[in-house]
Amino acid sequence: MSERVLVGLAAAGGVAVAGAFVLRDSPPSGNGAGGECERARALQALADVAEELGRAAVRLRAAGLVDEAEILEANRLMSEDPSLESEVAELALELPAAVAVARATDHHASLLAGLDDPLLAARAADVRELGRRAARLLSGAPPLVLPDRPVVLVARDLGPAEISDLQLCGGTIAGIALAEGAATSHAAIMARALGLPLVVGLGEEVLGAADGETLVLDADRRRVVLRPAAATVADAEAAQTRAVAEKARLAASRGRPAVTRDSLRIALLSNAATVAEVRAGLDAGAEGVGLLRTELAFLEAGAWPGEAEHFDALVQPLALLAGRVATVRTLDFGEDKTPPFLAGIAQRGLELTLAQPAELRAQLRAVLRAGAETRLRILFPLVRDAAQMRAVRELLAQAIDEVGWRAPRPRVGAMIETPDAAAQAAAIAAEADFLSIGTNDLVQYTLGLDRELPLASTVAAASPEVLAHVGAVVAAAHALGRPVEVCGEAAGEPPVAALLVGLGVDELSVSPARLDVVRAAVRSVSASAASAAARQAVEAASLEESLALGEALLDESGDESGELLDSLGSALA
């Protein structure tokens, strides 16, 4: 029988050749009618799912996947949504618990899927995942176990937690093929973070694959091949070999600086929240840490953490950074990162901590004590105006006196994350030693996209509107001699990184896994060409046009990044 090629959408680049492992649809079942007992079982299942997602988030953080852990935290909160709980409770009075949960989650998912915004619509898969997890718990089904050989996982759709569970708990996934799904989904983000090729939207036919039959999944070409010919398998295996060799080549260049072809040096730093992430960044050649998150250790806290708790959380990661740049961001509570003791708050970021000056001063004392041997920088989140920076400088001066600080005074940074702050960049820079642009939030506030979708921030950060804000911030800061870093996820995408270099950004801080590819991108372009492309991108008519300009920079380089983009794939596919 001849091979059959199914074409879908590339959601995470790469190539896989392995036997199929098909997850079959299993409609929820239950005997009898509903009632108070079924209502209690259904609500308990949702609560248990929330606990499962919390544990999965902990595993991701331990693996250094902090942004992906936040996705699961957001989904955990979704499982506790009062409107979902109310609908489940009402249905379970008439239907078996598993059926009630399935219908309620399907209803909520359908509402999301019908939205005009494709990024929000893609979250429907997350809601359906909640229903599947709850149904499995209610049925008493054992956890899914993969074979002890590499497989191409085939399913109708998957959620992010299902992918992380299967891969991080001893999984052997070589790639994922989905009949449905979206390239902007949380599952796609999770697959990229775990290095798993993923093709979505393949249609019903892919579900007809037999367990164990060899599949070729080529996400770079947006396809899955059923019953592949020997030549097709050989070509795919050769592509895998090239990708492995390319990764090794890039890793071998970690001792080389991030310098453009016309000798502009860009500081390359890493984002981190844990000891493992700091170590991974240094191993991958980071010059230091450009963003050390501090709130993630306290998301389940029952009260404001004290100085001792802050110190305990910071001392180990900062010990690894002795003599290096260590940029510690103060607590960024609020919105999707709200601990129980702050439930219902309206404030966020620096506004919130400035309202608690004693608590902020306690954290500053801990930062100073733990970071005394580093080239310490203290970064304040979501700065609104210059007055806030004057206020935190006063608090920092008090903390310095309280700990008897003797090292060089730490540099103070302001995160620019809103259009209003970008417009006031000159005044804010006058009160700061450096500026840091958080593209995740800047995209949300500029374009109205959902911050809980990292892909949205990564891709849309190249929109002309957002690039214009970045360019304005850089110009204002440089006029006062202040350097500018970008620490959002966008800095980890080569075409976007190339445009950021063109806008004059001095430092790029990315996840440890993206350091090699970003270093290669910087080294492959000239700053002068990047500057010209960036000016065009700011004036572009669309996101697609501006992204094409960034990609053209890399394509024209003919050096380190062109083959890299082909072999590793891109989140922009």
Residues 457-479: tens digit of each pLDDT: 467 889 999 999 999 999 999 99
- Residue 449 has a pLDDT of 62
Would you say 484 and 223 are in contact if contact means Cβ atoms under 8 Å apart? no
- Residue 73 has a pLDDT of 82
- Residue 40 has a pLDDT of 93
| Topology, domain 36-139 | Enzyme I; Chain A, domain 2 (1.10.274)
Measured distance CA(96)–CA(159) in Å, rounded:
24
The residues annotated with a catalytic role in the active site are 186, 487
pTM of the model: 0.72
Measured distance CA(366)–CA(298) in Å, rounded:
15
- Residue 367 has a pLDDT of 98
Would you say 326 and 410 are in contact if contact means Cβ atoms under 8 Å apart? no
17-45 burial by CB neighbour count: b if 16+ within 10 A, else e? bbbbbbbeeeebebeeebeeebbebbbeb
Count of CB atoms situated within 10 Å of the CB of 411: 17
- Residue 570 has a pLDDT of 38
304-319 burial by CB neighbour count: b if 16+ within 10 A, else e? bbebebbbebbeebbe
Q: Domain residues of the chain, as ranges?
A: 4-23+144-246, 36-139, 262-490+506-511
Would you say 425 and 435 are in contact if contact means Cβ atoms under 8 Å apart? yes
CATH code for residues 4-23+144-246: 3.50.30.10
Would you say 186 and 122 are in contact if contact means Cβ atoms under 8 Å apart? yes
- Residue 298 has a pLDDT of 85
Query: What is the C-alpha end-to-end distance of the chain, expressed in Å?
Result: 31
SS (H, E, C) 530-561: HHHHHHHHHCCCCHHHHHHHHHHHHHHHCCHH
Measured distance CA(200)–CA(521) in Å, rounded:
27
Measured distance CA(75)–CA(350) in Å, rounded:
25
> 9 CB contacts (<8 Å, ≥6 apart)?
182, 183, 199, 200, 201, 222, 573
Would you say 325 and 290 are in contact if contact means Cβ atoms under 8 Å apart? yes
Three-state SS at 360 = helix
Count of CB atoms situated within 10 Å of the CB of 247: 16
Superfamily for the 262-490+506-511 domain: Phosphoenolpyruvate-binding domains (3.20.20.60)
DSSP at 340: G
Same fold, 4-23+144-246 and 36-139: no
Output Rg (C-alpha) for the chain, integer angstroms. Answer: 24
Given the DSSP bridges, would you call strands 507-510 and 151-155 parallel, antiparallel or unpaired?
A: unpaired
What are the backbone dihedrals phi and psi of residue 57, each rounded to the nearest 5 degrees, phi first?
A: -65, -40
Cα-based angle 441, 442, 446 (whole degrees, multiple of 5):
120
Mean pLDDT per 10-residue section of the chain, whose length is 573 residues: 88 90 77 84 92 87 76 84 89 90 89 69 81 86 82 92 81 90 79 86 94 93 93 92 84 87 96 85 94 85 93 95 97 81 88 96 98 97 97 97 90 97 98 95 81 52 95 98 92 93 97 89 95 97 93 72 44 34
- Residue 138 has a pLDDT of 87
